[in-house]
Structure 1
Amino acid sequence: MSQKVIDFEVPIHQLAQEYPDFVDIMYSIGFTKIKVPGMLNTVGKIINLKKGSKAMGIPQDKIAQAFEERGYELKNYDQ
């Protein structure tokens, strides 16, 4: 099994395609707009986790913790 890595500088669209549980994890921590039809295919192609965190007012720490708890390694995460 390959290592699951969440890179905070990769567009969320790419992460959602790579990891089937990505959208559900993001939704569970407050990124409710991620399930709006078309959102991933438009805005998701240019927004990464750093920008999304700032735009939605959700701390990067909260995102990092959610993914670490599910076995993900973090990359380009500003602590």
Structure 2
Amino acid sequence: MRKQIDITKSVYEICTENPDVIEIMKSLGFESITNPGMLNTAGRFMTISKGAAMKNISMDKIKEEFAKKGYDIK
């Protein structure tokens, strides 16, 4: 069964529920997500969509990578 990611949640919430998301996000270019301080501060209000816009990473690329790892984005 595939796991679901709700992209309206904060990055902190998503990573707390699914710790393996940290490595997926890192591989997409969100290197600072591996810093616990950053995850606990900025991650509490940052969403994947906001982060993608800031880093200029397409949501299609993010959805594709999550799909490869067994996740559906809702």
TM more than 0.5: yes
Aligned residues: 74
Superposed displacement of residue 29, structure 1: 1.0
The AA in structure 2 aligned to 1:38 is G
CA distance in 1, matches of 2:32, 2:67: 22
Superposed displacement of residue 37, structure 1: 3.7
Instruction: Indicate whether 1:72 and 2:71 are aligned.
Output: yes
CA distance in 1, matches of 2:42, 2:60: 22
Q: Which has the higher helix share?
A: 2
Instruction: Indicate whether 1:47 and 2:46 are aligned.
Output: yes
Q: TM-score, normalised by structure 1?
A: 0.86
After superposing on structure 2, the runs of 4+ consecutive aligned residues of structure 1 that deviate more than 2 Å are none
The equivalent of 1:10 in structure 2 is 9
Aligned residues: CA RMSD: 1.2
Instruction: Give 5+ residue unaligned stretches, structure 2.
Output: none
